[in-house]
Amino acid sequence: MRSPARRITAPRPIVASRRSRSRRRVAPMAVATLVLALSTPLAPRLAGEASASPARPAALAPTGGAAALSHPAVGVALTTDGNGAWVVGSDGAIMTYGDATFLGSMGGHLLASPIVGIAATPTGRGYWLVASDGGIFSFGDAAFHGSMGGHRLDRPIVGIASTPSGQGYWCVASDGGIFSFGDAAFHGSMGGRPLVRPIVGMASTPGGHGYWTVASDGGIFAFGDAGFYGSMGGTALVAPIVGISAMLDGHGYRLVGADGGVFSFGDATFAGRGAPSSSTGPVVGLSTGPGGIYQMVTTSGTIVALVAETTIAPADLMLSGINQARAAAGVAPVAPDTALGSIASTWSGTLASTGTLLHQDLSALLASSLSSYHALGEILYDGPASSPPQAAVDAWMASPDHRTIMLSSAYSLVGVGTTTVGGTIYAVVDFGAH
């Protein structure tokens, strides 16, 4: 009988080229485990429809920045762990909630045009504000990469999204025009094309190779590697759509209406809707965090957080833990990658069927199915399926070799795969870069 003790195997170091390199091994150590839960795609939920799973709504209390907004809130951005948020008013004032840190604002400054959106950096230590004239205001570790301020626009800017590296951003106008800055690549737009209703927001894919824009009638326009999972276009809505938020794995998104109605597509889960009142004002924005949490903000700056308890994916929590560790080390986050995820999932099944912890041949993968990648790294573990994901991250961080791979700036992508057999879970985390 196998020992119930949790194990970690020697990590595979960075592979800088497709040539084989020697591997170092470390002594086994105790680790915790992770369950990778795949959410079943849900049909869109109409405004007012009851949740099929238990929900935990919670109103967050402000912790810093402006004591109250003197102008309507126009956007919200979550911290990396989902336990805090920044809310921005049309005058550029910032309110912080939970563990969000106040890093500055445009409140009290003369603006040429109102603020219309906010985007946080991947590290959670900075944010950008964007005005309707395309002006960009950077705070914390958010770097300024350019703006449309002072340039003629056919239609006003309505939203902003960050690249996964935090070294660039996109802005979208109400006619669907896209403006790219820094390392943000242009993947297409609706600019110059007829729209039934104006664009009201955008969201980017985890790898930064695509994005979605959404119109006020719920129409979705996908560009680059952004998949189309459905829309509300052509469906009668109680209230207009005001925002979009993508899932962390890039395989789904949520739309939110001004009345708090939430519409889920792809693997986005539904945990309930908001209930704005005359005192809070209508909903104006939505943001998604790890573990199935999503938060919406009303014009008064009130935030309501919703979590689908039965649909929380531990993989999201593990990815969040890894990226928090990278952020603490000053390293850019890794984004979920479909190919790496498939490789990791397949290998975890192999480990589970054989009861072993052996690395796959990374050099062979670089020469075949992953030939477009120039670096790969892998870490493995097994243990009781009930162990919390963060404990695994902590254990890897405690091992120098594993920590080196987790925090390596050579990697920008990641795939996580797990298989559970007889109460033991086998996990594979593959890091890579193109």
Summarised one tens digit per residue, pLDDT across range 169-215 is: 999 999 999 999 999 999 999 999 999 999 999 999 988 999 999 99
Confidence of residue 248 (pLDDT cuts 50, 70, 90): confident
Confidence of residue 138 (pLDDT cuts 50, 70, 90): very high
- Decide if pLDDT at 119 tops 50: yes
- Decide if pLDDT at 7 tops 70: no
Q: Is beta strand 413-421 parallel, antiparallel or unpaired with respect to 335-336?
A: parallel
**Contact predicate 382/357, CB 8 Å:** yes
**Contact predicate 413/337, CB 8 Å:** yes
Residue 289, token pair as written in the block:
């965090």
Q: How far apart are the C-alpha atoms of 72 and 69, rounded to whole Å?
A: 7
pLDDT at 25: 27
pLDDT at 69: 86
pLDDT digits (tens, 9 = 90+) for 330-389: 888 888 888 998 898 899 889 889 988 888 998 889 889 899 998 899 988 777 776 667
- Decide if pLDDT at 166 tops 50: yes
- Kindly report the pTM of this predicted structure: 0.65
Confidence of residue 9 (pLDDT cuts 50, 70, 90): low
Number of residues written out for the chain: 434
300: left (phi over 0), alpha (psi -120 to 50) or beta: alpha
pLDDT at 67: 55
**Contact predicate 260/233, CB 8 Å:** no
Using the structure block, give the residue that is written with the tokens 């080229």.
17
Average pLDDT value for residue range 59-79: 74
- Measured CA to CA in angstroms, residue 350 lies from 31, 38, 60, 357, 370 at distances of 20, 19, 44, 9, 19
Strands (E), 174-288: 178-182, 199-204, 210-215, 220-224, 241-246, 252-257, 262-266, 283-288
**Contact predicate 243/285, CB 8 Å:** yes
> What is the average pLDDT score of the chain?
80
pLDDT at 255: 95
Between residues 330 and 269, which one has the greater pLDDT? 330
DSSP structural state of residue 400: H
Between residues 27 and 132, which one has the greater pLDDT? 132
pLDDT at 388: 67
What is the full DSSP assignment across 300-358? T--EEEEEBGGG--HHHHHHHHHHHHHHHTT-PPPEE-HHHHHHHHHHHHHHHHHT---
Classify residue 119 by burial, with Cβ atoms within 10 Å: 0-12, 13-18, 19+: buried
- Decide if pLDDT at 75 tops 70: yes
Sheet with 262-266: strands ordered across:
241-246, 252-257, 262-266
